Amino acid sequence: MSAFHFRLQTTDTATGARRGVFRTPRGEVQTPAFMPVGTQATVKGLTIDQVAQTGAQMVLGNTYHLSQRPGHRVVEKLGGLHAMMGWDGPILTDSGGFQIFSLGQLNRVTEEAATFKSQLDGATIRLTPEYAIEIQEALGSDVAMVLDHVVALPNTTEVIVDALQRSIRWARRCLDAARRENQARFAIVQGGLDAELRIQCATELATMAFDGFAVGGLSVGEPPAEMYRITAATTPVLPVDKPRYLMGVGRPIDLLESIARGIDLFDCVMPTRNGRNAMAFTSTGPIKMRNACHQEDTAPLDPDCPCLACRHSRGYLRHLFVSNEMLGPILLSLHNLTYYQRLLSDARAAIEGQRFGELLNHHRRLWAKPLQPT
């Protein structure tokens, strides 16, 4: 029996939102769930204890970046990602497929491998599906993503089909290369903004022995409505008894819209990146903390939020950013991650109570408002 198991507890009948539990050897993940991004084995600006305090259940690291620095064999000698980070919950590692896309000027993709010029020192790196798995096994993550071929959108059908078919072949090679029994493998569905191609890819990947399935190649500049459309077309083809992960998404409303379309897992740098840049997510909408209107504001950032940032006034938080004090980005990163975890907790409760549609409509109205205060 696999060490990993997903149990679907209930589905919201009005929307299709799913409430489940993803069991791993390092603990359970209550879904839908948001994974903070720790690309370099650190969630930027926060200690791992602070990350845990936000309510995070599972975190993400990146195969490509960690293989470059400090090197996956160094991580292995330090006891693996969990020991190195001090995190005892589940960790998912991305395979490096997104770097094929994001480092487009520095790479060449063939059937055998993606060849990179390192952004650190210009050294040539050859990333095959087998090597992507080898790195992730050395890192010791709980979930390893297959190496996939991500292409820019929009693109020609010929380019998208070529990348899709290569992603399927690479997924099979990743499965064949895997050796660790205590590491789950997730496949990645590609196919651009063509629903039929997405269905074709998902159908073929679903015949393979993966522990979960991701929808990849979205949130790369396409309109949100297109992302929702493709997600809605893809999820019905994926196995009901396996977790579904939408990679790199996104805004709070994107999470809720995608949950309504059957997604279980998310990751995104937005809460910490926006926090470092003085934007806070709150129950009344996003707020720009550098705005002068907050200078003498004694109110907390979000009165219902239990995080450390919300023990302070908006005026103090603004002062930290205007003064370029490092505490400002730390506190807002902590707050934003707490906001995301509270949002996902609310989503789980709403699904259990068959009222997810109400929660979704509330946030649709919230995100339809202009950014406040102006």
Q: Is 218 in contact with 230 (CB distance < 8 Å)?
A: yes
The residues near 267 (Cβ < 8 Å, ≥ 6 apart) are 34, 35, 36, 37, 60, 92, 245, 247, 248
Count CB atoms within 10 A of the CB of residue 14.
13
Catalytic residue among 94, 148, 211, 254: 94
Is 94 a residue of the active site?
yes
Is 264 a residue of the active site?
no
Helix ranges, 192-326 (H): 195-205, 224-234, 252-259, 270-276, 314-322
Catalytic residue among 12, 148, 254, 267: 267
Rounded Cα gap, residues 201 and 76, in angstroms: 34
Rounded Cα gap, residues 234 and 56, in angstroms: 27
Rounded Cα gap, residues 151 and 153, in angstroms: 7
Q: Is 338 in contact with 311 (CB distance < 8 Å)?
A: no
Task: Give bridge partners of residue 114 from the DSSP assignment.
Answer: 109, 127
- The catalytic site residues sit at 94, 267
